[in-house]
Every structure is written in structure tokens, then in C-alpha cells.
Amino acid sequence: MSRRTFLSLGSNLGDRRAHLRSAVDSLPDVVAVSPVYETDPVGGPDQGAFLNIVVQLETDLTPGALLGLCHRIESGAERVREERWGPRTLDLDIIWMDGVELSTDRLTIPHPRWKQRRFVLAPLRDLAPELVSERDLQLADGAVRVVEDL
């Protein structure tokens, strides 16, 4: 069964735009891609600005299979996990899947902090305004600026 699914993608190391483009090109079942936002980091160490997007999929992948694919795409971008919320070439998070509520030690859907982060909410609102209220956006942490389309 195909499910509407939203992934958040971010990059703040190397050729940020190329990392995002390559990740989108590696994803199956892409329906839409938000504009690119440049965003201030939220949490973690002092680091450079991110480019962030949200991608909508219509996929029949299970949450676990999709998580595995996200990790493989991150590895392909030479993502290194040394410091929590540290700088990275590429970060892919499953934000939301139609009809899925899941909480395991490996994966939680909806993403546990999706409503706290403006870098997720602003591009998500471009694709699914019914999921993000103006109030949600105002209460979220971080500054975002639309850059352009990917």
C-alpha cells in the first residue's frame, strides 16, 4: 500500500546543494520537493548554516526499509556520525507517514521533534499546509530563509 511520506533533508558540509540533489535523485517515488531553505543550526555545536528541503514520497516501502535507504544515501554522501547534531554532509529524517505511528529504539514516526524545528516546518508547509499551522511555525525554533528551488 502506497503512503504519503515526508522526509526532511539537510546539509551543511561540502557542496550542500549537490548533496541534496544527489539524495533526491536517489529516492524512489518522489512526488514533490520543497524550495530550498537556508537555516541556522538548532542545537548541537557551533557550525555553519544548513540547506534544508522536504521531499514528499508516495511509497510502499515499510518504515524500516525506508530508514535503511535513508542511511545508505547518507553513507553515500560520506556522512560521519561523530557528534550528535554536529555538522554533516547529509541528514535524512523520516518526518511523517500517512497512518503510521511508530516508536522503537531505531525509529519514531512522526519524528519526535518535527514540530519544534522551523527548518522542518517551513518546507513541509510548502508541500502539506494542512499539517503545519501558522502557530506551529511561529512557535518552532530556528531562523529560515528561502533560497530557491533545488
Give the CA distances from residue 147 to residues 25, 49, 51, 56, 144, in Å, rounded to whole numbers and listed in that order.
20, 12, 9, 19, 9
Residue 26 and residue 73 in contact, taking contact as beta carbons nearer than 8 Å: yes
Residue 136 CA neighbour count, 13 Å, CB half: 18
Active-site annotation holder among 3, 16, 93, 118: 93
Q: Is 93 a catalytic residue?
A: yes
Active-site annotation holder among 16, 88, 118, 125: 88
Closest CA to 148 of 21, 60, 14: 21
Active-site annotation holder among 3, 16, 91, 118: 91
Active-site annotation holder among 4, 21, 79, 113: 79
Q: Is 25 a catalytic residue?
A: no
Q: Is 88 a catalytic residue?
A: yes
Q: Is 91 a catalytic residue?
A: yes
* Catalytic residue positions, numbered: 79, 88, 91, 93
